[in-house]
Amino acid sequence: MQPNPDPKPGRWILPVVILAMMGFAWLFINAAEDPTVSASDTTVNGGSTGTTTTTTLPPSGTTTTTMAADIVQYNLDITNAGIAMAGLQEKINNANNNWEDRSVAYADTVGILQGLDAEVKAWRTSLDNIVVPTSLPEYADFHNIMVAAAGEVSRASGTIVPGLQAPDSGEARRAAVAAFNGAVTAYGNQVNTIAAYRPGTSS
């Protein structure tokens, strides 16, 4: 098996995810409060570095329609959920990195990762409490895709401890963490897709 060129996968993902999520939160709040400002979002797949989102403000005087209140609230809710997942992803990667460096005992690492997996599953359950906008029917489809992606995050999280416990030299654990980070990225991309959607445009 080829050695992993980066034994600490995902360490570059978190800052980009948080910045993107916070940028969208700013955009929605301002779009709701000031209908005289519109913005366009460009999402670029950065490969191993994650997804970068750039917000471009239009010339002065551009106007747009105020978003419906339920859409604004929904976008804020999924943004907060995305930020919460970014925090859990950081903790899981830190636990993995600490074991990679052998700076934390094996038994402690197992306990930490088991606790974080439980938090991920609670996070997934919490998404069921998000109210999907009824003002535009397409949001139901967007939400179902996002929830399915979140389910993959939860499933991948559950493979990390078995990977740690596998009788190998760390390959199963590294693969499980990489799969988890990939699932988080896919989930984040769907959140960003929903956030960037504007009625009357293709998503």
Query: What is the average per-residue pLDDT within 124-151?
Result: 95
The token pair that represents 108 in the structure block: 């402690």
CA–CA separation, 86 and 99 (whole Å): 20
- The Cα 100–Cα 96 span in angstroms is 6
- Domains, the chain: 13-196 (1.20.1420)
pLDDT digits (tens, 9 = 90+) for 170-184: 999 999 999 999 999
Tell me the whole-structure pTM to 2 decimals: 0.72
Split at pLDDT 50, 70, 90, the class of 55 is: very low
CA torsion 23→25→28→34, rounded to 10°?
-80
Q: What confidence score (pLDDT) does residue 2 get?
A: 45
